[in-house]
């Protein structure tokens, strides 16, 4: 398979499309520069410097770190940002496999940093972590069990270095596979687990996404889409890069990835301007995505959390009403069967899979009013915040 082929869908290959968009953006910029040599263009470094300055943490008790950490024998990268170290920590587990959120987090995360210390982690085989290690040495370690162990070590690192007994855990798409595993193993580590684009049963989810794409193709009389999707039947069958790529192309085109959008260029273009990624990181991120998917596709296909319904920590699900990348209907049905100390399900009616980017204000609202109060109840918020939380709940 050619590496320039684009696949998409968090829980299956988000970053591959983003990488293609990065490459396309760089090509367009180069072409524009060649066609208009008299026009002075701003360099990528200049743009990233501007973005970095605009989101710089300047509060006296803030934290702004981008650092490599030795985790389970390899170098793994963390971005740790917040305006008050006394705030609770929120660890973001990105999707994919191999689709880091770090390069686009500047588009939505800054307001979170008033209320949380937010940690973005490039997982084994992804993003800056992939770029900092020998892929040959990583190959045999690319398993769900190893990556769950990595996540455990990240949590322990945060607890130790920031003096926190508990943190919040947010999983997005593929990250929900690791998130559920962590919440099951160590419920006492977390104020709550928050699933966004929750993976429940991958085989059923793939089938539902395919049916959505086919229905949309027929209703729009899109003969090209119908032909390509029909050729995949029965779907999912045995998943391959090519089969998933064809299905994802039309699922994305009809808004099953981002509601109301036919492509993912808005996110991919943002990656190309990430102040946290060097040009080397960007050049290698596509390789990391293919690397991760190559070793983890089979494990993702086998995910079935239908019977995992007992949790000993609070549970939240934030789901896009139009998400067909990971099935929103399966997530809602699963949530109804969950038993937990407390739980809450929030629909985002104008979103598909990329909820935190599609409805960023509403996402933040629910983080503040629904999720963060669990830390306030434990007395783990800065002095004075307890009163504001109480007023919000009235």
> How do residues 35-89 score in pLDDT, each as one tens digit?
555 578 899 999 999 999 999 999 999 999 999 999 999 999 999 999 999 999 9
Please give the C-alpha separations between residue 143 and each of 176, 189, 199, 203, 309, in angstroms, as whole numbers. Answer: 15, 23, 17, 19, 23
- Cβ 319 vs Cβ 355: under 8 Å: yes
Return the exposure string of 245-273: e unless at least 16 CB atoms fall within 10 Å of the residue's CB, then b. bbbbbbbbbbbbbbbebebbbebbbbbbb
pLDDT at residue 33 above 70? no
Cα 15 from chain centre: 10
Dump the DSSP string for 352-367: SS-HHHHSHHHHHHHI
- CATH number of the domain that residue 286 is part of: 3.40.50.1820
Helix (H) or strand (E) holding 52: helix 44-54
Domain membership of residue 384 (yes or no) is no
SS3 31: helix
Q: What's the mean per-residue pLDDT of the chain? A: 91
- Cβ 366 vs Cβ 318: under 8 Å: yes
The pLDDT of residue 394: 47
- Cβ 31 vs Cβ 50: under 8 Å: no
Domain membership of residue 72 (yes or no) is yes
Domain membership of residue 265 (yes or no) is yes
Provide mean pLDDT across the span 288-317: 95
**Cβ neighbours for 163, distance < 8 A, ≥ 6 positions apart:** none
**Cβ neighbours for 259, distance < 8 A, ≥ 6 positions apart:** 320, 321, 322, 350, 351, 352, 358
| Largest Cα–Cα separation, the chain | 65
- Cβ 92 vs Cβ 101: under 8 Å: yes
222: burial class by Cβ within 10 Å (0-12, 13-18, 19+)? middle
129: burial class by Cβ within 10 Å (0-12, 13-18, 19+)? buried
pLDDT at residue 14 above 60? no
The pLDDT of residue 47: 96
The pLDDT of residue 7: 38
Q: Which of 31-45, 179-193, 267-281, 300-314 has the lowest mean pLDDT?
A: 31-45
Domain membership of residue 60 (yes or no) is yes
Domain membership of residue 45 (yes or no) is no
Domain membership of residue 39 (yes or no) is no
The pLDDT of residue 316: 98
SS3 188: helix
Confidence of residue 12 (pLDDT cuts 50, 70, 90): low
pLDDT at residue 13 above 70? no
pLDDT at residue 176 above 50? yes
Confidence of residue 8 (pLDDT cuts 50, 70, 90): very low
| Residue 143: φ, ψ to 5° | -135, 160
The pLDDT of residue 35: 53
**Cβ neighbours for 218, distance < 8 A, ≥ 6 positions apart:** 226
Domain membership of residue 280 (yes or no) is yes
Backbone torsion region of residue 319, taken as left when φ is above 0, otherwise alpha when ψ lies between -120 and 50, otherwise beta: beta
Domain membership of residue 116 (yes or no) is yes
pLDDT at residue 2 above 50? no
Confidence of residue 21 (pLDDT cuts 50, 70, 90): low
pLDDT at residue 294 above 70? yes
Q: Residue 202 is part of which domain span? A: 52-377
The pLDDT of residue 179: 98
The pLDDT of residue 384: 73
pLDDT at residue 28 above 50? no
The pLDDT of residue 51: 97
Provide mean pLDDT across the span 204-226: 98
Provide mean pLDDT across the span 151-172: 98
pLDDT at residue 299 above 70? yes
Number of domains present in the structure of the chain: 1
**Cβ neighbours for 278, distance < 8 A, ≥ 6 positions apart:** none
pLDDT at residue 98 above 90? yes
Nearest to 237 by CA among 203, 209, 205, 208: 203
Taking only the tens place, the pLDDT of each residue in 232-270 is 999 999 888 889 999 999 999 999 999 999 999 999 899
- Cβ 217 vs Cβ 338: under 8 Å: no
The pLDDT of residue 204: 97
Taking only the tens place, the pLDDT of each residue in 346-394 is 999 999 999 999 999 999 999 999 999 999 999 999 987 755 555 455 4
């Amino acid at each position: 398979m050619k590496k320039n082929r684009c696949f998409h869908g968090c829980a299956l290959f988000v970053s591959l499309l983003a990488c293609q968009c990065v490459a396309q953006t760089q090509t367009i910029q180069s072409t524009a520069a060649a066609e208009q040599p008299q026009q002075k263009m701003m360099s990528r470094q200049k743009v990233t410097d501007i973005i970095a300055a605009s989101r710089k943490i300047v509060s006296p008790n803030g934290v702004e770190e981008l650092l490599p950490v030795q985790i389970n024998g390899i170098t793994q990268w963390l971005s740790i940002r917040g305006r008050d170290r006394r705030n609770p920590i929120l660890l973001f587990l990105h999707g994919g496999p191999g689709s880091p959120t770090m390069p686009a987090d500047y588009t939505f995360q800054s307001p979170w940093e008033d209320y949380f210390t937010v940690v973005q982690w490039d997982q084994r085989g992804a993003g800056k972590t992939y770029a900092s290690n020998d892929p040959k040495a990583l190959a045999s370690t690319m398993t769900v069990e190893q990556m769950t162990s990595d996540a455990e070590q990240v949590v322990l690192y945060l607890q130790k270095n920031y003096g926190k007994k508990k943190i919040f855990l947010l999983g997005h798409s593929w990250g929900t596979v690791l998130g559920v595993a962590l919440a099951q193993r160590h419920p006492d580590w977390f104020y709550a687990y928050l699933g966004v684009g929750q993976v429940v049963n991958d085989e059923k989810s793939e089938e539902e996404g395919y049916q959505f794409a086919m229905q949309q193709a027929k209703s729009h009389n899109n003969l090209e889409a119908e032909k390509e999707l029909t050729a995949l039947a029965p779907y999912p069958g045995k998943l391959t890069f090519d089969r998933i790529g064809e299905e994802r192309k039309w699922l994305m085109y009809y808004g099953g990835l981002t509601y109301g959008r036919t492509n993912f260029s808005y996110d991919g273009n943002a990656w190309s301007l990430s102040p946290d990624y060097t040009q080397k990181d960007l050049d290698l991120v596509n390789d990391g995505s293919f690397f991760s998917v190559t070793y983890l596709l089979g494990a993702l296909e086998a995910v079935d959390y239908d019977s995992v319904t007992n949790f000993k920590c609070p549970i939240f699900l934030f789901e896009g009403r139009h998400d067909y990348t990971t099935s929103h209907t399966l997530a809602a049905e699963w949530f109804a069967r969950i038993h937990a100390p407390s739980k809450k399900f929030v629909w985002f009616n104008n979103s598909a899979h990329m909820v935190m980017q599609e409805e960023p204000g509403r996402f933040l609202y629910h983080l503040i009013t629904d999720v963060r109060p669990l830390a306030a109840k434990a007395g783990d918020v800065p002095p004075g915040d307890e009163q504001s939380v109480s007023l919000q709940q009235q």
